[in-house]
Structure 1
Amino acid sequence: MSRPVPDKAEVALEYPDKFYVGTFEHSSRFEARLDGSGVALVLQHPGAADERKSVHLHLNFGLLAGILRELAVSVAALPKDDIAHREQLADALDELRRALRTS
């Protein structure tokens, strides 16, 4: 089930001969789910054919775990007085941890 993007995402793809960049904000939607081998993430911006865009990303569990560990190492870069974002992230991780333990 897709949901409205609650904040903002920026995506950039760089190839030797091409560069693509896109922003997904409140008018966009996202879907994230676990499957048998990892997490699938879809970002979609609806609209007319010349405005529509989507990004589909799949990360295997090992890579996702590595990303989460790297985020933990870099959390010091988040200002200590940025309580709102710290709580947002902590609450989401608590919810994921509870779901992993009870499934």
Structure 2
Amino acid sequence: MSKPIPDKAEIALEYPDKFYAGTFERSSRFEAHLEPTGLALTLERPGAEDVRKSIHMHLNYGLLAAILTDMAAGIGALPKDDVHRRQLEDAVATLQQALNGS
């Protein structure tokens, strides 16, 4: 079930001969769910054919864990009163509860 994007996502896909970039803002939607081998993430921007776009990603659990570990290493750069830091703290607490089976 997709949900509105609460902030913004920017993506870039670079090939030797092509470059694609896109922004997904609050008018866009996302879906994230776990599959047997990792996280499935979809970002969708609705609209007419000339503005409509979507991306579909799958991150295996090992890569997802490495990303979270790298994020943890850099979290100290966010000020303690930053709204994004509080959002991350809340999300991590929810994830921790789920991992503990609560």
Q: TM-score range by the shorter chain?
A: over 0.9
Tell me, which stretches of 5 or more residues in structure 2 are unaligned? none
TM-score normalized by the length of structure 2 = 0.95
Q: Secondary structure at the match of 1:50?
A: coil
Structure 1 runs (4+) deviating above 3 angstroms are: none
- Structure 1, unaligned runs of 5 or more: none
RMSD: 1.1
Deviation at 1:79, TM superposition (A): 2.6
- Partners in 1 of 2:30 and 2:81 — Cα distance? 29
Normalising by structure 1, we get a TM-score of 0.94
Give distance in 1, aligned partners of 2:57 and 2:96.
22
Percent sequence identity is 65
Structure 1: distance between partners of 2:98 and 2:81: 29
Report what 2:84 is aligned to.
Answer: 85
CA distance in 2: counterparts of 1:102 and 1:61, whole angstroms? 18
2:100 is paired with a residue whose SS is helix
